[in-house]
Structure 1
């Protein structure tokens, strides 16, 4: 391409390229979305930029590069499979047609605050950062398989069209890799953002972002791997946030977030490995939450955050914050949409035991037995009620002690009024109704009364009942004492 074939605006760009100098068009405070009306003084043909990037010269002792601010790029900028030795900075520019960077490789690509109808950059390789901060892109952004040695910046970008199909895959970064951070703070995305199988070496930032895909999947990040934390403080997500199989080394921060997917699953984080899950100050979640088979070290969530339907079977964690009585946590377990499953109760009881609160752990275990009772046949439910009332399924050992004392007083009174006959008159010791009753109730202690006297009639049936109840109640008390000693 000859210099004589260029417009005045293009000559400025051509002369600045060998030294990597910037070329600014216009006052610099105009929005690039309105750049379609910019005239020839601010217009550069895409074929000129392509010629510079592929064949442009470099001044001695200088670092060449393309740097345009506030220009209108007319025509199609097609850099498919190109290897660019120069940095590309097109800031606040208006692209007439979607640029194509399929399979391209460049040192650094900065399109900050630009307008692009769409972007095709599948398998793009960038040796530094890719900046799309503040960009307006109503069409699809395809970055699948991209490899970025630096970071990906989407801060404040507006991607997708509010009048379009919000269920469409609008921002694709499947199987991509970012060695540093991926930041989409304050971004507004209409449609589905896919990160399936991608790797982010640093942090993934969705602070104050808006993901809008009502009735669809807003964020599809199955098998995502994040080396740092995934921050969504103040995130607004309309549609499902899908993190199935994700690995988040540090924490999943949804502080003050608002997740909404009425009639569907608002948060799916099944089979995940997460350092910490933070829902502090989040709005009540609209839609179901599914955390099955995941492992989280710490879960921070107030009870009011959880929806009416949750999936907790297989979820493991070490501790729950803030510290709350067991009664305030049990309501969540009753919302398991599979009905009664034992694991969530065992996990919650284990967390309380790990925190040293054995009383709360027993409360959870008792609630588990009561919930299980509703799934049993009628005769098993009747027996369950008996166990509950008498000994609290063994988790209320002091209740057993009270029953023992009540039985002892009742039986001692009965045998005091109607003394049983001695088996061998003249050889039997003096009858004592209290110690006789204790002989019947306590399976190990022997005061010699039971062997010396033989009750008759209903007193004999009372003796049988005392022996059976004695074994049950004494065993319950011993189990409670054993648990207390083992804690020490």
Structure 2
């Protein structure tokens, strides 16, 4: 204890324990391939070059730590490959100038934790190639200068209590990548909350299992590169990316996400900010809700080829208030559950009519282009899938898009459909008035209907009055009776052609005159109402 030595080398030794508390070694400290039936006490140990524990087996007494290396300082590297600890390994507040190698190491017993909070490593941290831990791997607040490797690692959390993480990497600083693209198996929750990763997080093919709650928590994480979860990632438990900042892309192609048992959410990324694309397709299967509300995605948000199955929940995709350059909704099959896109703003929506969701909310959604560019009659069923009922904004938005593209007839068709969809929500008198406007002038968007109706009434009225001219009234003089002009005088309100004042029909022709006058007023009123609607829109 407190000794100062040049170096120490122990190889294939059997030890009852070893205490080197506060010792100083100018060169190496090696205890390789040893068997220790007790605790390795290396607290505050200082090593000038390399600290090596490769292949050593540590069997402490019940309730004691296997290795206690708190506040150890190593000027080069720490090698503990193939280490076997039947208890907890403490590296809290340790400092390793170069790399820390734990490849193939095993931390066992039910609570055999690896405690490395506030660890500082100048190079990389390697916990792969068969590394396993049956308790928490705690790297809270750690600073790793290069990458963290978890290839072929197996992490088993200590239990189901709050805070019992399989991997706690919260509030840490990672100078490179988190590499877990092959063979990582985790039973228990992982947290990367509030962690800064300069490189990418690569979880290709990883298996994350925590059916009791959140399998991966990366809320408020800052990632300079990609979040790569392609290649068969499997997560049973919620993947939480809320308020994360991703400089590259978020890639879940081919992943399988499953909501926790008794839960509804498979992936939540509310408030996420992504500099690249968000790929949630090409074989993605989500059993539960995907929530990406209030997100900012500077490129494409794609569900191309995805399967969304929220059979146990009401909503399959919630994307409210999100901004993206493009949104792809070409699902592999019709989603099971509501697709809510309210208040989402994108430049382009690309979808597939064969996989339109049964329930779709578009109220407040703003877009510039739709692909494929379907005729209005084929696109209108897309708007009628809101389980909450009629909302005017989706019709106005679609009409605006058609008008902007020069499809004026399609825009009018959409606006007429909007009024027809509104009709069932009105009181009975208003419904009658709506029906009349629809039949006569198409709510002002079909003005030629009124012209043709006037022409028909003019022809019929002129023929009837030519056959049975009205009698003159008053004391004269009388203008010469003209059936066409007389019929026009009856049809056109607020217009005096002199015929109506001079002649008065009798008998059944009186009812003809009344019908013509009433029809004229109705046509004039509906035309004025429709024109006012069009002018307000313009």
Same fold (TM over 0.5): yes
Gaps of 5+ in 2: 1-6, 11-29, 36-47, 56-79, 157-165
CA–CA distance in structure 1, aligned partners of residues 497 and 510 of structure 2: 18
Change (3 A) 1:364 1:86: same
| Pair 1:210-2:245 in alignment | no
| Pair 1:349-2:399 in alignment | yes
CA–CA distance in structure 1, aligned partners of residues 488 and 417 of structure 2: 33
| Pair 1:295-2:345 in alignment | yes
| Pair 1:322-2:361 in alignment | no
Contact map agreement 1:19 1:65 (CA 8 A) in 2? no
CA–CA distance in structure 1, aligned partners of residues 437 and 92 of structure 2: 85
| Pair 1:114-2:153 in alignment | yes
Q: Name the structure 1 match of 2:32.
A: 7
1:127 to 172, 175, 184: 175
2:116 to 55, 67, 79: 79
Q: Name the structure 2 match of 1:249.
A: 298
CA–CA distance in structure 2, aligned partners of residues 133 and 445 of structure 1: 83
Q: Name the structure 1 match of 2:15.
A: none
Following TM superposition, by how much is the alpha carbon of 1:3 offset from its aligned partner in structure 2, in angstroms? 2.9
**Relative contact order (C-alpha < 8 Å, sep 6+): which is higher?**
1
Contact map agreement 1:18 1:56 (CA 8 A) in 2? no
Taking the TM superposition and a 5 Å limit, the aligned residue runs for 1:212-227 are: 212-213=258-259, 216-227=264-275
- 1:238-294 deviation digits (Å, cap 9, x = unpaired): 100011211112121111111110242000011211221101253211111111122
CA–CA distance in structure 2, aligned partners of residues 199 and 265 of structure 1: 25
Taking the TM superposition and a 5 Å limit, the aligned residue runs for 1:155-194 are: 155-160=204-209, 165=211, 168-186=213-231, 187-194=233-240
Change (3 A) 1:20 1:461: farther
Following TM superposition, by how much is the alpha carbon of 1:68 offset from its aligned partner in structure 2, in angstroms? 6.0
Change (3 A) 1:175 1:320: same
The normalised TM-score by structure 1 is 0.83
Contact map agreement 2:82 2:103 (CA 8 A) in 1? no
Following TM superposition, by how much is the alpha carbon of 1:80 offset from its aligned partner in structure 2, in angstroms? 0.2
Change (3 A) 1:367 1:56: closer
Contact map agreement 1:401 1:473 (CA 8 A) in 2? no
| Pair 1:103-2:141 in alignment | yes
CA–CA distance in structure 1, aligned partners of residues 370 and 471 of structure 2: 61
**Residues matched between the structures, number:** 455
Following TM superposition, by how much is the alpha carbon of 1:9 offset from its aligned partner in structure 2, in angstroms? 8.8
Q: Name the structure 1 match of 2:163.
A: none
Taking the TM superposition and a 5 Å limit, the aligned residue runs for 1:306-321 are: 306-321=356-371
1:65 to 84, 99, 102: 99
Following TM superposition, by how much is the alpha carbon of 1:424 offset from its aligned partner in structure 2, in angstroms? 5.6
Q: Name the structure 1 match of 2:39.
A: none
| Pair 1:455-2:492 in alignment | no
CA–CA distance in structure 2, aligned partners of residues 157 and 18 of structure 1: 35
Q: Name the structure 2 match of 1:420.
A: 470
Contact map agreement 2:444 2:531 (CA 8 A) in 1? no
Following TM superposition, by how much is the alpha carbon of 1:43 offset from its aligned partner in structure 2, in angstroms? 2.3
| Pair 1:233-2:281 in alignment | yes
CA–CA distance in structure 1, aligned partners of residues 455 and 433 of structure 2: 22
1:392 to 442, 456, 464: 442
SS of corresponding position for 1:434: helix
| Pair 1:200-2:246 in alignment | yes
CA–CA distance in structure 1, aligned partners of residues 481 and 176 of structure 2: 96
Structure exhibiting the larger radius of gyration computed from Cα positions: 2
Contact map agreement 2:104 2:132 (CA 8 A) in 1? no
CA–CA distance in structure 1, aligned partners of residues 150 and 83 of structure 2: 15
Gaps of 5+ in 1: 11-16, 25-40, 58-63
CA–CA distance in structure 2, aligned partners of residues 51 and 196 of structure 1: 30
